[in-house]
A and B are shown apart, each in its own frame.
Chain A
Amino acid sequence: MLDVLKIREDFPILKRTVNGQPLVYFDNAATSQTPQIVIDAIVDYYSNYNANIHRGVHTLSQEATDAYEVARKKVQQHFNAKHTHEIILTAGTTHSINIIATGFTDLLTAGDEIIVSALEHHSNIVPWQMLCERTGAILKVIPMNKEGELLIDVYDQLLSDKTKLVFTNHISNALGTINPIEEIIKKAHRVGAAVLIDGAQACPHIKPDVQALDVDFYVASAHKLCGPTGVGVLYGKEEWLHKIPPYQGGGEMIEQVTFEKTTYAGLPHKFEAGTPNICGGIAFGVALDYMNTIGFDAIASYEEELLAYGTQKLLEIEGLRIYGTSKNKTSVISFNLDNIHPYDVGTIVDKLGVAVRTGHHCAQPIMDFYKIPGTIRASFSFYNTKEEIDVLVNAVKKAQMMLS
């Protein structure tokens, strides 16, 4: 059982007010809040050992390098990667995806096929479209049903020996659906295709085991895991990371440079050109420690409780419709009120101190599927409470009253 009130004490931002009301933060799917221990780690770094890493012989540089590499080790352990050098620290999920999408340019030929899911975030659609434009590969889409679940029987038909890559998110950001990635990965491997899983939405709720999943690439962002913005992870199987060329040239990623030829550094540095987000990386490690101390099992079961409560309470509002009704979903509720624009509802509930996301959630194809301009999305985290859900429900009712 989580001691939520005690946990809330860890997050200074949860004490603030918005528009004169206590903040109710339900935009966790966009970014999570930051516990004091992570804020302290950031302050500690800049106060005590700020230095560039991997090159200085001086003490500060050594300390910073050690702390950064400890963080990488923590990320490795968290995702259960086989090797530390399979963990590339990036600027975030989008950056991670782009490293792979760009890297595959030389590995694909015209007529090869790439499969994405209909549930994708734009950042997991656009880089692959660009890759297809560069290579002449063809993009295929796994469709979804009205519950927001992928149609796996169609996926089976899309797979062939032409399939080279499959991409899907672990959990949909717009609807919260948990995709059957084990099955997706297994089937892709049967035809020899590589799989990239976008774990940005999953990682705040689930601790993925990349070896058990046998996934080729897994990507995520620190800022959805109580860490800072501007840091993320690209996990790649060693053999894949060797096959893929570097993404950016620059310092840190080289072994030897002459004007005739440059040889690249080994993993993971080959993909970490330039000075990385040192402080961010270190704070990411601290954030993972924090979440692991609370425990992902406890987080998942508590969030499930919030989801059930929120779903029930919101559905009591007449004319409210929830999008994404899969039995396998995380604590994300995407909804609309009949004949009321989501933007209007978002504006009113913000006035009442409730932070929700409105709009297409960077997933326009999903909105097109439902033929709606967008939704209101409330996403719950382990530091939220049922009382806060009551505040949301009342705010939505008030908005409905004002707007109809």
Chain B
Amino acid sequence: MTIQEIQEEIVDEFSMFDDWMQRYEYMIELGKSLPLIEEKYKIDTNIIKGCQSKVWVHADMKDNKIEFTADSDAIITKGIIAILIRVFSEQHPADIIKANTDFIDEIGLKEHLSPTRANGLVSMIKQLKMYAIAYQTQLD
């Protein structure tokens, strides 16, 4: 699936809910399916700055596609990073770099998009794209 298709799928899933509680409960549920980072990568240098909770992200490249793994000590944050990883993992770096993230707004998580928000959704997206840029330069 392309990034765009996955985003549409997620928007579709979230459209079933009519209040924030159901949305958050689903997000928490998605957090449980997060591809977990290996313990050895759960180190300070892999922590995304700008989050009130800790978020670790690790990236690997296989067959020219990036595989992300992550974890967080907060369950809502874990849900957010899980959604992002579902969208961006196993994609070509170039596609990750050019992808837009408007779907966040559509699934009712717009409030998390503010750069001053302590959960650092913006920092997370930035970090994932940074990995993509780094791997893209290897391919170039």
Chain A residues within CB distance 8 Å of chain B: 19, 340-341, 343-344, 347-348, 351, 358-359, 373-374, 402-403
The 9 closest A-B pairs by CB, nearest first: A341-B74, A343-B53, A343-B74, A343-B52, A344-B76, A344-B74, A344-B75, A359-B52, A347-B76
Using A343-B76, A358-B52, A373-B73 as known contacts, say yes or no to A402 and B21 having CB atoms under 8 A apart. yes
Indicate if the CB atoms of A359 and B73 lie closer than 8 Å. Answer: no
Indicate if the CB atoms of A359 and B20 lie closer than 8 Å. Answer: no
Number of B residues with CB within 8 Å of any CB on chain A: 15
Instruction: Provide a sorted-by-A list of 6 A–B residue pairs whose CB atoms are within 8 angstroms.
Output: A341-B73, A343-B77, A343-B118, A344-B76, A344-B77, A403-B76
Indicate if the CB atoms of B119 and A343 lie closer than 8 Å. Answer: yes
- Interface presence of B97 (CB below 8 A): no
Q: Closest B-chain residue to A403, C-beta based?
A: B75
Q: Closest B-chain residue to A19, C-beta based?
A: B20
Q: Closest B-chain residue to A339, C-beta based?
A: B75
Query: What string of 1s and 0s marks CB contacts (under 8 Å) between B38-82 and chain A?
Result: 000000000000001110000000000000000001111100000
Q: Closest B-chain residue to A347, C-beta based?
A: B76
- Interface presence of B30 (CB below 8 A): no
Beyond A341-B77, A358-B52, A403-B76, 18 extra complex contacts between A and B, CB < 8 Å: A341-B53, A341-B75, A343-B53, A343-B76, A343-B77, A343-B119, A344-B77, A347-B76, A347-B119, A348-B24, A348-B76, A351-B21, A358-B118, A373-B53, A373-B73, A374-B52, A402-B24, A403-B28
Quick one: which of A347, A351, A358 has the most chain B CB within 10 A? A347
Q: CB-CB < 8 A to A343: which residues of B?
A: 52-53, 74, 76-77, 118-119
Q: How far is the CA of A19 from the CA of B75 in the complex (A)?
A: 21
Q: CB-CB < 8 A to A402: which residues of B?
A: 21, 24-25, 28
Q: How far is the CA of A344 from the CA of B118 in the complex (A)?
A: 11
Min CB gap A20→B, angstroms? 9
Indicate if the CB atoms of A340 and B24 lie closer than 8 Å. Answer: no
Q: How far is the CA of A197 from the CA of B37 in the complex (A)?
A: 46
Q: CB-CB < 8 A to A340: which residues of B?
A: 75
Of the candidates B24, B52, B118, the one whose C-beta lies within 8 Å of that of A351 is B24
Q: How far is the CA of A340 from the CA of B75 in the complex (A)?
A: 8
Q: CB-CB < 8 A to A359: which residues of B?
A: 52, 118
Q: CB-CB < 8 A to A19: which residues of B?
A: 20
Min CB gap A339→B, angstroms? 10
Q: CB-CB < 8 A to A373: which residues of B?
A: 53-54, 73
Q: CB-CB < 8 A to A374: which residues of B?
A: 52
Q: How far is the CA of A115 from the CA of B73 in the complex (A)?
A: 35
Query: What string of 1s and 0s marks CB contacts (under 8 Å) between B6-41 and chain A?
Result: 000000000000001100110010000000000000
Q: CB-CB < 8 A to B73: which residues of A?
A: 341, 373
Q: How far is the CA of A374 from the CA of B119 in the complex (A)?
A: 14
Q: Closest A-chain residue to B25, C-beta based?
A: A402
Min CB gap A150→B, angstroms? 28
Q: Closest A-chain residue to B112, C-beta based?
A: A347
Q: CB-CB < 8 A to A344: which residues of B?
A: 53, 74-77
Min CB gap A309→B, angstroms? 27
Q: CB-CB < 8 A to B77: which residues of A?
A: 341, 343-344
Using A343-B119, A374-B52, A402-B28 as known contacts, say yes or no to A351 and B20 having CB atoms under 8 A apart. yes
Min CB gap B122→A, angstroms? 16
Min CB gap A304→B, angstroms? 31
Q: How far is the CA of A359 from the CA of B77 in the complex (A)?
A: 14
Q: How far is the CA of A341 from the CA of B75 in the complex (A)?
A: 7
Q: CB-CB < 8 A to B21: which residues of A?
A: 351, 402
Q: CB-CB < 8 A to B24: which residues of A?
A: 347-348, 351, 402
Q: How far is the CA of A343 from the CA of B118 in the complex (A)?
A: 9
Min CB gap A209→B, angstroms? 38
Q: CB-CB < 8 A to B75: which residues of A?
A: 340-341, 344, 403
Q: Closest B-chain residue to A20, C-beta based?
A: B20
Min CB gap A190→B, angstroms? 43
Q: How far is the CA of A358 from the CA of B117 in the complex (A)?
A: 12
Min CB gap B21→A, angstroms? 7
Min CB gap A376→B, angstroms? 12
Q: Closest A-chain residue to B52, C-beta based?
A: A343
Min CB gap A21→B, angstroms? 11
Min CB gap A166→B, angstroms? 32
Q: How far is the CA of A13 from the CA of B54 in the complex (A)?
A: 33
Q: CB-CB < 8 A to A358: which residues of B?
A: 52, 118
Q: CB-CB < 8 A to A403: which residues of B?
A: 28, 75-76
Q: How far is the CA of A374 from the CA of B54 in the complex (A)?
A: 11
Quick one: which of A19, A341, A402 has the most chain B CB within 10 A? A341
Q: How far is the CA of A19 from the CA of B52 in the complex (A)?
A: 21
Quick one: which of A340, A344, A348 has the most chain B CB within 10 A? A344
Q: How far is the CA of A213 from the CA of B56 in the complex (A)?
A: 49
Q: How far is the CA of A359 from the CA of B24 in the complex (A)?
A: 20
Q: CB-CB < 8 A to B53: which residues of A?
A: 341, 343-344, 373
Min CB gap B65→A, angstroms? 31
Q: How far is the CA of A56 from the CA of B54 in the complex (A)?
A: 54
